[in-house]
Amino acid sequence: MQGPALRYAQIFLVACPAFILFGYNQSGVGGLDDFPSWVKIFPEIDTINTTGNQKSHNATVQGAVVACYTIGALFGSLICMIVGDILGRRRTIFSGATIALVGQALECTAYSLAQFVVGRVVLGFGVGMLSATVPVWQSECSPAAQRGRNVVLTGMFIAFGFALTQWVNFGFYQIEYSAAAWRGSLAIPALFSFIIMGSIFFLPESPRWLVMKNRSDLAQSTLARLRGKGIDSIEIVAELRGYEISLEDSSNNNLRLKDIFTMGEEKLLYRFLLCFTLQFFQQMSGGTLISVYIPMIFETDLGLGASLSKILAACALTWKFLSCFVGFAIIDRMGRRSAFMVSGGGMAICMVALAVSNSFSNNHTASIISALFIFIYNFFLPVGFLGANFLYPAEVAPARLRVAMQAISIANQWLWMFVVAMITPVAIDDIGYRYYIVYAVIAGLIPPVIYLFYPETKGRSLEELDEIFRDAPSIFAAVSMSKTLPVGDRTVERVLEEKATIEEIE
């Protein structure tokens, strides 16, 4: 395979199963809490058949059990700072899929809460490695004009995982006679781990990583396969030379991990804060709240029945998956900045509406309005914050620190995901509608912050973005340059000029 066929294989054999794993396992446990066999085996996290102080205590434990997955993912992301550039992209992805498979096996065979928690942590560790590495691998293999679409598909696959787990849980709930129901639900994503493990070594390594490891000959042949061009074509030679120049510039500055927290010519701290803040916004604008606890919101907060709640949750997350096609269509047309601002503004409005509608207790009309705005929220989230948030950090990070920056920013996302997963059951029980106000305020900050501080990356090569950050005299100048400079890789132009000069001399 080569050219588009090879890129499709990367997307559907690795990115697709990796991020379905992400979404399925993040959302899966939240829909099992009213399974009778689940409650029988894990009474410590029963919030359906308990009241008062016991319910409050169980809600705290339930939040911890759901959230321990994200703690594992946090450390799985961070470990990529160490192993990502040592093992390479493919071996890191294989390791993540293998660890995730072990975690799934521990979950599905659990007869005690302790074993289940260990399984959740191990599973999270593997998924964290995948979430930090796969977007980098895709970004480094994709041409600039198609990078946005290729990577933003990760959000679509996450949303598909969310929807799939709700439909699976609903189906098993209808035939729930034994523990085999919830064990079967949790076993299904093991298939995706096997797909990744069986296919990753038939796909190419990142050519940028190969150049970094002084394997330029293999990088050139790999790049030719990815672009579907001759190995000695001027486009391939020029793009490869662009990688080498970018790495030479980074090497001359002797970039180290601790330099992330300094500015200097590379503006590394600024670039790191762009990644870090973006993942904070992704979680604290309500993404995990809606995706993980949507069945509980419908059943407990809105007072709907168990079956109806599961159907509505599955429908809402299916709608979220379909809405991802909007984000896919606009990311390389509108650009990253516009997508983020539209998404953030829409989510803020929806959270305000949820706070208002939930302030009315035992009100049928208010419940309908709440359900409607959950669906509207699930339209706005994928526009910018379910896929593009994985893409942007890989675009703005320099080559030698790309894995490290991506790993830390994704770990930050998992950290806030843990916070949300941990406090949501207690917050909904204790403060009710006021909980949504927090998310409304944070989402409302997204449009002005993106407008002022986030450069546009649409259509530019990763090396060209490096040059913009280096050449800009200030943060605001970087934003301005990203919008005004004509799109086109200046490194390619330089190589073409050098070739023309050599031909003239000859």
Environment class of 75 (CB within 10 Å of its CB; exposed 0-12, middle 13-18, buried 19+): middle
- Give the residue from 383, 374, 324, 384 showing the smallest Cα distance to 353: 374
Write down the pLDDT at residue 471: 84
Write down the pLDDT at residue 446: 94
Buried b (16+ CB within 10 A) or exposed e, 469-505: bbebeebeebbebbeeeeeebebbeebeeeeeeeeee
Environment class of 24 (CB within 10 Å of its CB; exposed 0-12, middle 13-18, buried 19+): buried
Name which of 216-225, 270-279, 388-397 the model is least confident about. Answer: 388-397
Task: Confirm whether 340 is domain-assigned.
Answer: yes
Write down the pLDDT at residue 248: 67
Write down the pLDDT at residue 53: 77
Share of residues in the chain with pLDDT > 70 (%): 88
pLDDT digits (tens, 9 = 90+) for 405-421: 888 888 888 888 888 87
Name the token pair of 458: 């649409």
pLDDT-based confidence at 320, cuts 50/70/90? confident
425 lies in which domain range? 4-484
Write down the pLDDT at residue 57: 77
Task: Confirm whether 491 is domain-assigned.
Answer: no
CA 194, 197, 200, 206 torsion-angle sign:
positive
242 pLDDT more than 60:
yes
121 pLDDT more than 90:
yes
Q: What does R_g of the chain's alpha carbons equal in angstroms? A: 23
Q: What is the DSSP letter of 49?
A: S
The residue-averaged pLDDT of 132-152 equals: 80
Position with higher pLDDT, 402 vs 502: 402
Task: Confirm whether 489 is domain-assigned.
Answer: no
Write down the pLDDT at residue 252: 53
The residue-averaged pLDDT of 363-386 equals: 85
Position with higher pLDDT, 291 vs 317: 317
Helix (H, G, I), strand (E, B) or coil at 322: helix
Residue 34 sits in a domain whose CATH number is: 1.20.1250.20
Task: Confirm whether 501 is domain-assigned.
Answer: no
CA 455, 459, 463, 464 torsion-angle sign:
negative
Question: Residue for token digits 């100048």?
Answer: 477
pLDDT digits (tens, 9 = 90+) for 269-316: 899 899 889 989 988 888 777 776 676 677 666 666 667 777 887 888
Write down the pLDDT at residue 505: 54
- Give the residue from 372, 286, 15 showing the smallest Cα distance to 161: 15
Task: Confirm whether 139 is domain-assigned.
Answer: yes
Contact 268, 395 (CB under 8 A): no
Task: Confirm whether 52 is domain-assigned.
Answer: yes
257 pLDDT more than 70:
no
222 pLDDT more than 60:
yes
Task: Confirm whether 496 is domain-assigned.
Answer: no
The residue-averaged pLDDT of 320-326 equals: 86
The residue-averaged pLDDT of 237-245 equals: 80
- Split into its structural domains, the chain has a count of 1
498 pLDDT more than 70:
no
Name the token pair of 484: 């005004």
- Residue 102's contacts (CB-CB under 8 Å, 6 or more residues apart) are 122, 123, 126
The residue-averaged pLDDT of 386-412 equals: 82
Write down the pLDDT at residue 42: 81
Task: Confirm whether 410 is domain-assigned.
Answer: yes
Position with higher pLDDT, 167 vs 126: 126
Contact 279, 389 (CB under 8 A): yes
Name the token pair of 149: 């679409």
